[in-house]
Structure 1
Amino acid sequence: MLRVLVLEDDEDLRSILCELLSAVGAEACVGAGSLAELERQRVEALGCGLAILDINLGAGVPSGLEAYQWLRGNGFSGRTVFLTGHARSHPLVRQALELPHVQVLSKPIDSKVLLSLVVESGSHGTGTT
């Protein structure tokens, strides 16, 4: 079954995403609100097959892009999807779009899109237990 990491600074949105992901078939959801919180959950986060990362985690703190680099640097091999409420012209969004093998989706994300992410990521066998 697929384990999903959700990195989102908005606690309510993070909770809703985890609930929706569980409802559409994710085995577990590891939620974090910052890179520091993600680092504290290292083992659980690195065991996920899908990472959904908010690109902008707030002013003056590491971004979702830095979290992506941390994940990759620590051996994360799952699928990565960035979420953003910003326009494609925003510098962080442009950087994310240049990364290989990632997807960038706009907020709000539709539950059908979440379902397809879980199904597609689960079928690739990454991060399953």
Structure 2
Amino acid sequence: MRQVLVLEDDDDLRGMLCDLLRMYGVTACVDVDSFEALVQQRDAALGCELALLDVNLGAGVQSGLDALDWLLAQAYRGRAVFLTGHARSHPLVRLAYEQTQVKVLAKPVDSRALRALLEEPRGA
């Protein structure tokens, strides 16, 4: 896998995820901390084969679900995985689980689960 998008509002976690991804062979990590930053990085984001999207980016701002909707509207062809530190009962997390073809991983993300994502075929 060449390029992965990481949308995560926690700077430390975003950096750690990108470091792990590079260690696992990803050549580029497009890391953004908000929906607005994602839009600014449109071309790079659309070239990613995998998008790791934090479900909840904070109160009163667009969520990872909004980011997925935007990516799909832009003809994004890669896979998407939601990340969350909230309970399954949280309204945004419930909506994330309702998405078809999108996995949801709990934070902290297990490094083995992250590596497995990189090894999955596109349709998995």
Identical pairs, percent: 59
1:81 equivalenced with 2:75 (yes/no): no
Count of paired positions: 123
How far apart are residue 19 of structure 1 and its match? 0.4
**CA distance in 2 between partners of 1:99 and 1:27 (Å):** 28
**CA distance in 1 between partners of 2:55 and 2:69 (Å):** 12
The match for 1:4 is 4
1:56 equivalenced with 2:56 (yes/no): yes
Partner amino acid, structure 2, of 1:27: T
How far apart are residue 124 of structure 1 and its match? 3.3
- In structure 1, runs of 5+ residues without a counterpart are none
Larger RCO, structure (CA 8 Å, separation 6 or more): 1
**CA distance in 2 between partners of 1:23 and 1:100 (Å):** 29
SS at match of 1:93: helix
How far apart are residue 26 of structure 1 and its match? 1.2
The match for 1:117 is 117
- In structure 2, runs of 5+ residues without a counterpart are none
Structure 1 residue runs of 4+, over 2 Å off? none
Tell whether the 8 Å contact from 2:79 to 2:122 is kept in structure 1 after alignment.
no
Tell whether the 8 Å contact from 2:84 to 2:105 is kept in structure 1 after alignment.
yes
Tell whether the 8 Å contact from 1:24 to 1:114 is kept in structure 2 after alignment.
no
SS at match of 1:44: helix
How far apart are residue 119 of structure 1 and its match? 1.4
| TM-score, length of structure 2 as denominator length | 0.95
The match for 1:33 is 33
How far apart are residue 96 of structure 1 and its match? 0.7
CA RMSD between the two structures: 1.2
Partner amino acid, structure 1, of 2:60: G
| TM-score, length of structure 1 as denominator length | 0.92
The match for 2:45 is 45
How far apart are residue 43 of structure 1 and its match? 0.3
